[in-house]
Amino acid sequence: MIQIKSEDEVELINRSSSTFDLNESCFESVINWLYSKWIVINIENFKSMLEVSSHLKVESIKNSCFTFIERNLTAEKTHDLLKNCRDENFLQNFVVFNSFLSRHFLRIMNSEYFLEFPLEVVKYILSHP
C-alpha cells in the first residue's frame, strides 16, 4: 500500500491521472525547446503547439503561438490558419480572431477561399457579428 505524505504528492497524482491526448511531434518539440530554447511554430502545428503548451503550462511557447497568429493573420491566410480549427471553443479563446473577423468580415465573405472554410468556422463567423 502506498502512503501519500504531502499535498504535493496528491497534486502530482491528480495531474498524472488526468487524460490529455498529446500530439507526439509537438510534445517532442516542447522537450527539445527545454534543452535548446528554440522551437518551430508554423501553420500546420500552431494549434497543437498551443494546446500542448497550455496543458503543460509553458507560457513562453503559448505566447509564441499567439504572436505567430497575430503576425500571420491576414484575409488571405485566414483559411490556412483556420482550416484545422474545428472546435468553436478553440476559436472563442482568440480575441485576435474575433477582432480580425469583425474588421474584415465582408472581405473574407466575398473571397473565394471562404468557400473552403470548415463548416464549424463558417458557423462561428456567422454567429458572432
Please indicate, yes or no, if residue 87 is contained in any of the structural domains. Answer: yes
pLDDT for 57 equals 84
Please indicate, yes or no, if residue 56 is contained in any of the structural domains. Answer: yes
pTM listed for this prediction: 0.59
70/87 Cα distance (integer angstroms): 19
Same-domain check for residues 84 and 36:
no
Same-domain check for residues 65 and 88:
no
Please indicate, yes or no, if residue 5 is contained in any of the structural domains. Answer: no
Same-domain check for residues 46 and 82:
no
Q: pLDDT tens-digit profile of 40-97? A: 888 888 888 888 888 888 888 888 888 888 787 776 777 666 665 655 556 555 666 7
3-state secondary structure of 97: helix
Number of domains in the chain: 2
Same-domain check for residues 45 and 68:
yes
111/108 Cα distance (integer angstroms): 5
Domain that residue 46 falls in: 22-72
